[in-house]
Amino acid sequence: MLGQSITRNSLLLALFAVVTTLLIAGTYLLTKDTIAQERRKAEEKALLEIVPARLHDNNMLDDTLVAKAGKTGLGLREDKTIYVARQAGQAHAVILPVIAPDGYSGDIELIVGVKRDGRVAGVRVLNHRETPGLGDKVDLAKSDWVLSFNGRSLTEPSVEQWAVKKDHGVFDQFTGATITPRAVVAATRRALEYAQTHHDYLFGSSTKPDSATTNDKAEPASNSGPGAL
């Protein structure tokens, strides 16, 4: 009697496990392509904000390099994707993934566009948990503060002045929030330094701009997890 009921119940459970799994698998298969499309669209939107369509003629989502995790200055904990914007085959800007580990509440995920000449093409905050109303002004939706990086480079202002005004730098801090902008300024500076030291890797050899581009596609863009948005 007991054995019978155990058998019956386990069979029942197994049956439900199979049915619900099938259901999920079916929905997954049906929505898979749409989701991939949406994800790409969202990624592309962020990239196009930094390097508008008229400034490049390649598909940045497919033209990528790898940013290694570890002590590269980008602060990444896992390998991420660098997107390359080209015009007539020549890399003219790269979009680097950067993490500012020293935000007010946890990591701030950024993408920083760096032009060939070492100037900032644009900075966008992708993901953060900063205090609403104070630190979240680094988000372009809340304030256009991040636009103040546009056109800056490591020589302009000088490296010592890559800081918020409170630390004798040139960038504004926000009323009531210094830690967040400080973290973003430092992360942007580190991204520029990375671009400077890895200039050949990112932009191809400076003397022969076209020769090095063939092996740039070392990795497909598939490793762009949710963090890349």
Q: Residue numbers of the site for another protein (CB under 8 A)?
A: 5, 8-9, 12-13, 16-17, 20-21, 23-24, 27-28, 31, 34-35, 38-39, 41-42, 131-134, 226, 229
Rounded least distance, CB 199 to another protein, Å? 34
Rounded least distance, CB 44 to another protein, Å? 12
Rounded least distance, CB 14 to another protein, Å? 10
Q: Which is nearer to another protein, 80 or 198 (CB)?
A: 80
Rounded least distance, CB 146 to another protein, Å? 19
Q: Could you tell me if 43 and 196 are in contact, meaning their C-beta atoms sit under 8 angstroms apart? A: no
> Where does residue 103 rank: exposed (0-12), middle (13-18), buried (19+ CB within 10 A)?
buried
DSSP state, 198? Answer: T
Q: In the structure encoding, which two tokens stand for residue 112, read together? A: 């920083």
d(CA 226, CA 210): 32
Q: Which is nearer to another protein, 28 or 200 (CB)?
A: 28
Q: Which is nearer to another protein, 34 or 215 (CB)?
A: 34
In 3D space, the residue among 91, 125, 95, 47 whose CA is nearest the CA of residue 209 turns out to be: 91
